[in-house]
Amino acid sequence: PQKPGATRTTAEWQQTDSAHYLHPFTDSAALARKGARIITRADDIYIWDSEGQKILDAMSGLWCVNVGYGRQELIEAATRQLQTLPFYNSFFNTATPPAIELAELLAEITPPQFQHVFFGGSGSESNDTVVRLVRRYWDLQGQPERKVIISRKNAYHGSTMAGASLGGMSEMHQQGGLPIPDIVHIEQPFWFALGRDERSERLSREEFGRRAASWLEDKIQEIGPGRVAAFIGEPVQGAGGVIVPPSTYWPEIQRICDRHGILLVSDEVITGFGRTGQWFGCETMGTKPDLMTFAKGVTSGYIPLGGVMVGERVAKALANGGEFAHGYTYSGHPVACAVAVANIRLIQREGLVERVREDTGPYLAQRYAELAGHSLVGEAQTCGLMGALQLVRDKTSGAPFPAELAVGMMCRAHCFREGLIMRAVGDRMIIAPPLSMTRAQMDEMLALIRRCLDLTL
């Protein structure tokens, strides 16, 4: 009998795939040689490929399927809305009930400074919107010379021209002449890689956190405080390798932004909707951002949606500023908003944020502390349900493997064969499993991770 979704054989899918489909962030020639793995269905925390292999998805798709796969409430919300009103826009003085309902719900669950939301279709669009909003704000304040947005190396803020410019991925900057003007980058708060002093001795994490924040102050002084518009950061850098910053970092960043009147932007595309054990990562890190972008977890990835929470300070300026000449056809798409409302209600009903904060998050931290003893692991970090294992050649000194060995990719290949999706960022192995994951499923995931580390040795 045919497997679900298997209307063609795997070889046929692969052949057609490489003939016609340009994949994101993929070397097409390499993919054509190997053939894509064809994912045909999913349930709970598992996905299945076209050969019928079951795989534990420890990345929640791309950091998004927070409530797990196969949730009927979300499917029904989409179906109902598709039948009632599949599309209408919110340009030109119109709105739809699901978009209004979602705006109200977001105002309720986000920190109190956020009473307004601007919708887009993705994280990238949301961060593009931030660039427009920040510059609009300073124009309205009569300070148009405040244009510079400071971000961090190795940050990921999306793939559009502004998103990739805000991001600090050098490969992306090399393709297409990025960044666009007036976006600059400072070093990331990556203690394991950068936390040494002039004598190459390890700083304490706390000391390093303050030092990493001081790089923002240095950059502001270099540019001139009167030219700096905003600072943007992910509370925990995700695609850069789940870099959990020292506890001293964000409070100091907040102080620096306050001192210079600079807008603070929190990119919560990954850290939003419970990932870190609070509804939003800024709450975990103790900051009070002026703008906050979200996407992914807002719908658990069932349908595309993103947006920007606009804090009181910017909202007030916009309210008296006339038309903000910006928007997307799918801003506030009614089907996406209906799914988001159902998704947030489900997170609330099942207490998933509390579960991460009080149960599964601490449990993952404890189990990762055990994994830190593995001979390949130089550092193990978690924050809520995000985790990173830094693979090293020498555990004592923390010396890395030679890059050409591609040990991270080796480990990832073992995971793939053993039925586990884990991502490799260089030699840093990262996870972000569904927030619905139980302790028993976590044990299953951790046994697989340990087996794959052993196989990589």
* Residues contributing to the site for ligand PLP (CB under 6 A): 62, 122-124, 127, 156-158, 234, 238-239, 267, 269-270, 295, 306
CA-CA distance, 102 to 331, in Å (whole number)?
12
CA atoms within 13 A on the CB side of 119: 28
Contacts of 343 (CB under 8 A, 6+ apart): 66, 67, 71, 74, 273, 298, 299, 300, 302
CB closer to ligand PLP, 48 vs 156:
156
Please list, residue by residue across 221-249, b when 16 or more beta carbons sit within 10 angstroms of its beta carbon and e when fewer do: eeeeeeebbbbbbbbbbbbbbbbbbbebb
Cβ neighbours, 10 Å, residue 278: 20
Minimum distance from CB of 304 to ligand PLP (Å)? Answer: 7
Cα torsion 429, 360, 445, 9: sign:
negative
CB closer to ligand PLP, 238 vs 332:
238
CB closer to ligand PLP, 269 vs 437:
269
CB closer to ligand PLP, 68 vs 306:
306
Contacts of 388 (CB under 8 A, 6+ apart): 241, 242, 243, 244, 379, 380, 381, 382, 428, 429, 430, 431
Minimum distance from CB of 290 to ligand PLP (Å)? Answer: 17
Q: Which tokens belong to 128?
A: 């593009």
CB closer to ligand PLP, 253 vs 448:
253
CB closer to ligand PLP, 314 vs 432:
432
Minimum distance from CB of 184 to ligand PLP (Å)? Answer: 18
Contacts of 432 (CB under 8 A, 6+ apart): 58, 59, 60, 63, 238, 242, 270, 275, 385, 386, 387
Minimum distance from CB of 422 to ligand PLP (Å)? Answer: 16
Minimum distance from CB of 156 to ligand PLP (Å)? Answer: 5
R_g (Cα) of the chain, nearest Å: 22
Minimum distance from CB of 335 to ligand PLP (Å)? Answer: 17
Query: Could you tell me whether strands 423-425 and 428-431 are parallel, antiparallel, or unpaired per DSSP bridges?
Result: antiparallel
How many residues does this entry show for the chain?
Answer: 457
Minimum distance from CB of 318 to ligand PLP (Å)? Answer: 22
Minimum distance from CB of 123 to ligand PLP (Å)? Answer: 2
CB closer to ligand PLP, 157 vs 428:
157
CA-CA distance, 119 to 132, in Å (whole number)?
14
Minimum distance from CB of 212 to ligand PLP (Å)? Answer: 18
Note whether 21 and 393 are within 8 A (CB).
no
CA-CA distance, 419 to 387, in Å (whole number)?
18
CA-CA distance, 36 to 457, in Å (whole number)?
26
Minimum distance from CB of 23 to ligand PLP (Å)? Answer: 14
Distances (CA, A) of 143 to 49, 136, 216, 309, 386: 54, 10, 21, 23, 39
CB closer to ligand PLP, 128 vs 379:
128
Minimum distance from CB of 371 to ligand PLP (Å)? Answer: 24
CB closer to ligand PLP, 18 vs 284:
284
CB closer to ligand PLP, 343 vs 441:
343
Q: Which tokens belong to 329?
A: 């056809």
Closest chain position to ligand PLP (CB)? 123
CA-CA distance, 215 to 144, in Å (whole number)?
25
CB closer to ligand PLP, 308 vs 453:
308
CB closer to ligand PLP, 266 vs 441:
266
CA-CA distance, 115 to 212, in Å (whole number)?
32
Three-class SS state of 263: strand
CA-CA distance, 162 to 179, in Å (whole number)?
8
Minimum distance from CB of 377 to ligand PLP (Å)? Answer: 24
